[in-house]
Structures are given as structure tokens and as C-alpha cells.
Structure 1
Amino acid sequence: MFDQLWAGLDAFGAYSTPLGWMAIGLFLLGAALEYYDREYARPAVALAWVVFGVFWLSLVHHFIFVQRSVIEGLGSILAIPLALYLAALLWRGRDSLFVFSRAIAIMGVVYFSVVSIPVVSQTLIEAVTRQTEFLINLLGFEPEVVSGTQITTADGSTFEIAKKENPFRSTFVFDASDVSYMEQPIITYTIVMACTGLGSMAIFIGLILAVRAPAERKLRALAVSIPVIYVLNLFRNVFIGITFGNQMTNFFPDVVMALFSLESQWQVSYIISDRIIAQGLSVVALVVITWLVVRELPEVLSIIEDVLYVLTRREYDLQDALGFAPPESDPA
């Protein structure tokens, strides 16, 4: 039964992109209707949250079995009931959720617009690859960076680059000929869209632009978040590339292979470097960046208050608790 369930979720994953655009369209429609009458907007936004929950359902199999990401997999599962609950709360009259809904709409537009336009996504991925390459070389490592989806070694052997869909110049090739448990003489590390930091940047762009506040403070909030995320993401790529490419985090291989259903020992270093260490530190970094943003733009706390209410069913006044409040000089 479980095999059939997972097979069904795998097939359902093909609909994730149209479901994402459908949810964004409904969120944008709700935002437009809100300017005229919130009661007109309410059905559209509530339906948008329902579709958004179905969108996350379509990603469960991908995050758990393809990406093998504990954090993203758990997050996608939790997002399903939370989205449905948000739809119910908004339908029952919690109007503060209209701000959160606008934030989701902006996040979606930013992320899907970049992902859906090939020339933009390629430019971003290859720019991040070049910058990661510069930093890796600066640390004394010099892996080859290649285009295409295959690699031909000096002895004429050809290897497919694992799970690489686009032939961008985005793959680092590390020499693994001295690694005893390797099945091939090379290790490849490919920069994909998830390695650009676009997802995290889209989140903060959505949060900042969704609230009503003077443009000057919004620009300051963007300045203390977007560049920081971009730079930290480059450091993340460098850390994963060096530690995985040189098999530096091959810790407890038997345990990790069993927990993550890995086929080969060389994958252990990637799971520990990326899925455990890097993603764990990313959560901490996002909390710190959020703190920097709310210092400049306390209005964002209203969205965080709504999230906390959904999780705990308790009302919060974070502006008062943290001592952050919009400047009195702001226009009404």
C-alpha cells in the first residue's frame, strides 16, 4: 500500500509547476480584489491557500526521495495542513492574513519568474558557479568546471553527471582516483537553482514588499537581507564543494547510508555536508537575518505574529515584546 502511495505522489509531482502558478495567480487576484473590497478577495485568497497546500503535497516525494532532505521533506509535509488551516482562518475572518497572502504572492512571482525563464535561470546559475569557483580556487583547490551533462576522462571513459538536466557551465569535477570506495575516478558537484539562494531571497523580498511602510525603510530592509543571503549562500556552496569533492565528511557511513537509503558510500559526505550541516546552519542564518530585517521594518512582525498564531493558537504582540515599533515620523 505504501509503495502505491509513494508511486502516486511521485507521479503527482509532475503537476507541481502548474499548481504553483495557479496558487500564485489566485493570491494575486486576491491582492487586487482587496483594494476594492476584502469580502470580494476572501474567497479567492482562501482558495489560493487550498491550492498552495496541494502544491506542497506534490513536492513531498521529490524532497524526501529525490533530494533526500530531512528539513525540506518535513517542511513540505507540515505545509499541507498549515495551508489548509490558513485558508479556514482567513475564511472565518482573520483579515491580518491578507498581508501574509500578499507576501506569498510576491515570493512566488519572484521565484517562478526566474525559474521559468531559461536565459535568466542560466545566467544566475552560471554567475553563482563562477563566483563559487573563484572562492574555491582562493582556498587552494582547483577542480575543473565543465558544461554539458557528460564527462570524458583522460583514459576515454565517459560518465553521466548525476541528475544534471541543463548543459550549463555549472559542474565541478574533483579527482577521486585515490578514494578507495569510489566506483568511478571522479566526483561531480553541480550548481543548480537551489544552490543560488533564490528561494531564501524570494521569501524576504515577499515579506518586505508585502507590508505597508515607507519605501526608504523597505530598501534598508532589502539591503540587510538580500546581499547577506547571497554571500552566505556562496560560502555554503564552497563548503559543500570542498568537503564533498574531497570526501572530508565521510562520517559514520554505515549509519548515514541506512538512514538516507544511500546506494554508495561516497554519497555520505554530500548528505552530511549539505543536508545536515549546511541546511542546519541555513536555518540559524535565516533567523539572524530576520532579526536584522525587523529592526529596520517592524511591520514584518505582523506576518510573523500570524505564523505563530497558526502554530500555537495564541495571540502575540512582538513589536511590544521586542521593543520594535515603526518610527513616529512615518506618515499615517
Structure 2
Amino acid sequence: MATDLSLLGEVFVISSLFLLAIGYYVSGREHVFLGRRFPTKIGNQFSILGWICLGFFWWIQVEYYILIKDPVNALICAAAVPFFGYLAYHEYLSIIWKSSYEPLRWLAAMTVVAGGIYFFVERVPLLAGWLIHLVAEQSIWFLDIFGIENRLGPIDYGEGSKIYRSGSEHEEVRVAIEGDSWKDPLAPSVNIVLACTALQSMIIFVGGVICTKAPLSRRFNAFLVTVPPIYILNLIRNAVVIWLTYEHVWGVDTFFWAHAVYAKIGSLLALVVLAIAVFHFLPEMQDSILGVIDLPLREAPEGAPKLPFAKEMPNMVIYVITSALVLFPFGASSNSIREQGIVVDWPLEEIYVVSLILIILSIFLLCFYRDPHRVIEDGIVSPADGLVQKVSTKRGMIHISVFMGLQNVHVNRSPIDGKVISQKHRSGGYTPAFSKDSDKNERLVTKLDTDLGIFKITQIAGFLVRRIVSYIEPNEVIVKGKRIGLIHFGSRVDLAFESSGIKIKVKEGDRILAGQTLAEFTPMSSLSVAEKLMEGPKRLLSKLQASTIDKGD
């Protein structure tokens, strides 16, 4: 299983760097190749695939970090798919909004440069071994300064070629640190591997500096204040971890606390300080990073198409999806780890069950809060997708009820053009929206002033979440088909309007989509003289009857 994941990871990482490089190049401006025009959106499409591949590459590294009991890196890798998926989502926004976002392009370029350097070194064991041996040798120099003698073991290249090898935890190049006579006999052995060289941290800054558009002199200064200090601080970090582990300071958990906790906290603080230093020389790099951080605040251009999800979709949906994606690789690793006969004191199988439940819940929530495009037809249209539950005419008023089940879209639309006269929220019970007793449920009553007269829309909550969100305000002029609100989880929309001149086009039991015609209205001006003589008194009577009811709303 580990070998399979290694090969799969190889495909993902090479593909991601290749796709991101093409995406960065093509998304910068329109290109013509062999007589064919390549618009910038082609670059965004390549970048979408690149970010997704990169996310999956790090996702499948979770098993390795579980095996070496490194929860911090395991959690970071588990969050890769949500994070890089979010970047891919913004590449998609660049396509539909027809708007480039330079900080995202900078991040793609930096990823290609930094990732290309790191994975090249990692895949060439001879090169990785040279760097690891150099760092190991210089790390024990710091111990020698304090009279703590150590010796280096030989470079262990593992199995496979020394020229090129796909990444795998079983083939990792390492150098053992031998603690001589002062090492506690109960202390585990410490090995220096590529992750101990600070190569990752250094190339992040190298990639950022190279890809920032600024004068060469300032970029060189930024390099000097980051890369050499990172290298030296890492040597000190390694020396401290070796000393603490071999002295067995905190017992059997010494290496875990020294390496996986305190060393990582110290590294993070150091990187923050160094980032501040590099921003002094490269404020453009700071702007790019802040631009990436501000991705959630990115606003759509005027008139840009919206995403097919409800405007007021709660943040809970994002939290559930993210939690599911973060937990899944932990749980999915349980079978592979068990097959290898390795005992891990983490509740992986329980995490797997929880992640599957959250994935199913995520799919349900995304389906529930979807808001697809709807064609708006002529006449009075349906305010919602669902089942026509009631059609009746009483005392000059037509009453139509549309029930929305959990499988239906719950975004409501205006059935007619008009001006919002008033909105009144009424508390009430929480019976199922399809029940006759739901007339007493919590509701939002909106009255419109229309060409037909007063038009009443009543949004009724169901028994689950019982929350109605309005997208409109009093005195606002709205057009037919405009989204007017969202009712959470099981609900109903009631319409009430004057019956004069109305021809109903639906019946009880019909399935209907928002925007489809419910009824047609024939204005008096389009009738012949004879029809006016016949229809006029009927409409007048209908208006008089309608004006005497529903005064309380």
C-alpha cells in the first residue's frame, strides 16, 4: 500500500508543478500558438488541476506522518485538500468573473519554483544525501562546542537507485547520530533526514523572493536576511533536539516533545520574525501574501455571475466540509497501517467513521443550499421548486401553496414585479411544513404593490432549523424572478392575490420549478368591447371582495 501511495504521490506532485507552471504562463495574457488563440481562462483551468493535484499529493502523506508519530505535520497534510481546493475555487472565480488575481498567480509561481527545487533534491538520493550529511555534520559541531562529543554514522540511502527515486518513507535517505558514552541507554536513536535540513523553509523564501517583481538588489538583500539565518538556526535546533533526546530529559516522550512540539513552535516563531525582516526589503512580497490571505474578501465585479449556492448559506456548511476532508485521510490510513502490522495509539477507525458521516452530511448540505439558474417564464411564476399543495379561490382571492421538501431548492424568488410595501415576521409553532397545522408556524409575510394590486407572499418555516432569511427590504422595487429569501430545511411558500383576470395554469399535486408559470393575467386593455362588458363587473366584484380580507397581515 505504501509503495502504491508513493507512486501515486509521484504522479500528483509532478503533474501539479507542470500544470501550475503552464497555468501561470498562460493566465498572464492571451497567447497564440500554431495559429490557435489561448485565452487566459485556459491558464486558470490548468491551475485548477494543478492545485487539486498538489492537495492530493500532500493528503496521501498523512499516513507517513502517522507512522512516525508527527501529529503536527499529519494535520497540516490532512488540511491540504481543503486549502488547495480553496485556491482552485478562486481560480474558477477568475474564470467566471473574467478577472485575474495577481496574488494567486504569484503563489502559483512561488509554488512551482519552491516545489521544483525541493522535489528535485528529494528525488535524487545522492544530492539529498550530500545535504543531509552536511547538515548532520554541522549540527554536531554545535554540540562539540560545549564538549558533547558525537559521531556520524554512514549515509543510509535505503533501497533503490541513488540517481532518481520516487518518494517513500521506506527509502528515505538518513544519517544516524551516535551519542557515544554520554547517551542514555533508554534513549532512541536520532537520524537526520531531509526534513531536518530546513530545505523546505529556505526554498519557501527563495521561491517568494524570486517570484516577486522588485529590483534585483532588494531581492538579494531579502535573500541574505532569510536563508542564511534559517540554515544556522536549524543547525542549533537539531543540536538541541539531539541533546535533549540522548539525555532522556523527559523520559520516553522526550523526542516527541523536543522534535514535534517545542522545535516546531520555535521554528514557527523564527519564521515569523524572518518574514517581517524580508518584508522590510520586499513590501511587494508582503502585498502578495496579504492578497492571498484576503482571498475570502475578494469581491465579484459588477454584474458578474453568481455561484450556484444560496446567498446566506451558513458557515456551518464550510466547517462540515473542511472537517470531513481533514479527518478522512487519518481514517483512510487505518487499514494500510493495520496491514503493515504497526500499532498506532490513535483512534483511526473511529475517525474514519466520523469522516464518512461528515462527507455524507456535506453532500446533503451542498445539495440543500444549491441555487441553480432558473428560466423565468411569462405570467405569475412559482416562487419555489416543489409540490403545488394547494390551489383555491375564495372571496376574490387566489391562494396557491408550494411545498418544498428537503430535496428541493430552498431559495425563493419573486413571482411578479412589484414594490415591497411591508415585511412582517411572525413567530409560531414548528410543525412540518406540509401539515395543515403549519399555518401557525413561524413565517415571514411580504406584501408587494403590483399591477394586480396587493400581492402577498408568505414564507413558512418547517420543523428543523426554523429560520427564514430575507434578501429584500421594504420600499425596494423587485423584478419577477429576483431571489427574495431562503427558508432552511423543509418549508412552504403561500401566495395570495386577486383573482380578477387570472387564469390558473397549475393544479394540486403538480411538481414545479421556481420561475415556471403558475397563472396568467389578461389586462382589460387587451379585451374586446364585448369581453370588457362581460368581464368588467366580475373583476370589480373580485377586487371589492379581496379588499375586505387579510387586513391583519
What TM-score, normalized to structure 2?
A: 0.46
The equivalent position to 2:268 in structure 1, one of 274, 283, 289, is 283
| Matched letter for residue 22 of structure 2 | L
Whole-Å separation in 2 of the counterparts to 1:295 and 1:279:
25
| Matched letter for residue 172 of structure 1 | I
Alpha-carbon offset, residue 249 of structure 1: 3.1
Which residues of structure 2 form unaligned runs of 5+? Answer: 31-39, 95-99, 157-168, 300-553
Whole-Å separation in 2 of the counterparts to 1:221 and 1:43:
33
1:28-65, CA deviations, whole angstroms, 9 ceiling, x for partnerless residues? 112232454233311111111111111121112222x1
Does 2:179 align with 1:174? yes
Aligned residue for 1:119?
Answer: 126
Alpha-carbon offset, residue 139 of structure 1: 1.4
Alpha-carbon offset, residue 315 of structure 1: 5.9
Whole-Å separation in 2 of the counterparts to 1:82 and 1:167:
29
1:44-99, CA deviations, whole angstroms, 9 ceiling, x for partnerless residues? 11111111111121112222x12322321221122211111110111211522111
Whole-Å separation in 2 of the counterparts to 1:10 and 1:119:
21
Aligned residue for 1:89?
Answer: 90
Whole-Å separation in 2 of the counterparts to 1:165 and 1:9:
11
The SS at the match of 2:179 is strand
Whole-Å separation in 1 of the counterparts to 2:298 and 2:101:
14
Aligned residue for 1:40?
Answer: 42
Distance 1:297-1:68 versus aligned 2 partners, 3 A rule: same
Whole-Å separation in 1 of the counterparts to 2:206 and 2:267:
17
Distance 1:141-1:89 versus aligned 2 partners, 3 A rule: same
| Matched letter for residue 41 of structure 1 | G
Aligned residue for 2:5?
Answer: 12
Whole-Å separation in 1 of the counterparts to 2:124 and 2:86:
33
| Matched letter for residue 116 of structure 2 | V
Whole-Å separation in 1 of the counterparts to 2:87 and 2:297:
14
8 Å contact from structure 2 (residues 225, 274) kept in 1: yes
The equivalent position to 2:140 in structure 1, one of 133, 138, 143, is 133
Bigger helix fraction:
1
Distance 1:91-1:302 versus aligned 2 partners, 3 A rule: farther
Whole-Å separation in 1 of the counterparts to 2:21 and 2:229:
28
8 Å contact from structure 2 (residues 56, 81) kept in 1: yes
- Which has the higher mean CA deviation after the structures are superposed, 35-44 or 78-87? 35-44
Aligned residue for 1:293?
Answer: 278
Equivalences for residues 213-292 of structure 1 within 5 A: 213-250=214-251, 265=252, 268-292=253-277
8 Å contact from structure 2 (residues 56, 80) kept in 1: no
Aligned residue for 1:157?
Answer: none
1:246-275, CA deviations, whole angstroms, 9 ceiling, x for partnerless residues? 21233xxxxxxxxxxxxxx3xx11001100
Bigger Rg, structure 1 or 2: 2
The equivalent position to 1:57 in structure 2, one of 59, 75, 80, is 59
Whole-Å separation in 2 of the counterparts to 1:52 and 1:270:
30
Which residues of structure 1 form unaligned runs of 5+? Answer: 1-7, 150-162, 251-264, 317-332
The SS at the match of 1:92 is helix
Whole-Å separation in 2 of the counterparts to 1:222 and 1:274:
27
Whole-Å separation in 2 of the counterparts to 1:315 and 1:218:
28
Identical amino acids, percent of aligned pairs? 24
Whole-Å separation in 1 of the counterparts to 2:44 and 2:155:
48
Alpha-carbon offset, residue 286 of structure 1: 0.8
Whole-Å separation in 2 of the counterparts to 1:30 and 1:167:
33
Aligned residue for 1:30?
Answer: 23
Whole-Å separation in 1 of the counterparts to 2:172 and 2:50:
31
Distance 1:165-1:39 versus aligned 2 partners, 3 A rule: closer
The SS at the match of 1:147 is strand
Whole-Å separation in 2 of the counterparts to 1:164 and 1:188:
17
| Matched letter for residue 25 of structure 1 | F
What is the number of residues matched between the two proteins?
A: 273
8 Å contact from structure 1 (residues 22, 51) kept in 2: yes
8 Å contact from structure 1 (residues 176, 187) kept in 2: no
8 Å contact from structure 1 (residues 9, 58) kept in 2: no
Whole-Å separation in 1 of the counterparts to 2:198 and 2:223:
14
Q: CA RMSD, aligned part only?
A: 2.6
| Matched letter for residue 264 of structure 2 | Q
The SS at the match of 1:142 is coil
